[in-house]
């Protein structure tokens, strides 16, 4: 798991992922528990798991981003699970979080130079 800033998160307009909001305690336990839960629900397929997970702080909450690249997922089941578990986990899509929580315009694609996490978007 890697900790990132909201400025780094703002550069991820070309990605999609699941964000869980308000994660407290040991974050690795959250990652392991979500991987186990999504496996049991048939969402993570063929023994796959979220390996690359990012933690970030926003409005006093610790949040986890589970990027969907290179993960064998059943997207329909994940979408239903996210809706059903929203009250427990505050789950939202990265593509919803960026414009609605951080005010990022999703119409602007990051430049090739900005696509790395080390690059920060300027305002």
Please tell me the predicted confidence (pLDDT) of residue 109: 58
| Total domains, the chain | 1
119 domain residue, yes or no: no
Please tell me the predicted confidence (pLDDT) of residue 21: 97
Q: Which domain holds residue 57?
A: 2-111
116 domain residue, yes or no: no
118 domain residue, yes or no: no
73 domain residue, yes or no: yes
120 domain residue, yes or no: no
107 domain residue, yes or no: yes
How far apart are the C-alpha atoms of 94 and 84, rounded to whole Å? 17
Note down pLDDT in tens along the chain; length 123 residues.
999 999 999 999 999 999 999 999 999 999 999 999 999 999 999 999 999 999 999 999 999 999 999 999 999 999 999 999 999 999 999 999 999 999 998 876 555 444 444 433 333
103 domain residue, yes or no: yes
Please name the helix (run of DSSP H) or strand (run of DSSP E) that holds residue 102, with its range, or none: helix 94-102
The structure's pTM equals: 0.85
């Amino acid at each position: 798991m890697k900790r990132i800033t909201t400025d780094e998160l703002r550069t991820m307009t070309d990605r999609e992922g699941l964000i869980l909001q308000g994660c407290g305690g040991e974050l690795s336990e959250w990652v392991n528990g979500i991987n186990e839960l999504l496996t049991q629900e048939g969402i993570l397929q063929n023994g796959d798991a979220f390996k690359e997970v990012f933690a970030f702080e926003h409005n006093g909450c610790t949040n986890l981003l589970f990027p969907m690249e290179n993960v064998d997922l059943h997207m329909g089941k994940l979408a239903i699970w996210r809706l059903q578990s929203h009250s427990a986990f505050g789950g939202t899509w990265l593509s919803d979080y960026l414009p609605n929580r951080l005010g990022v315009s999703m119409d602007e694609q990051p430049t090739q130079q900005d696509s790395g996490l080390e690059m920060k978007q300027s305002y």
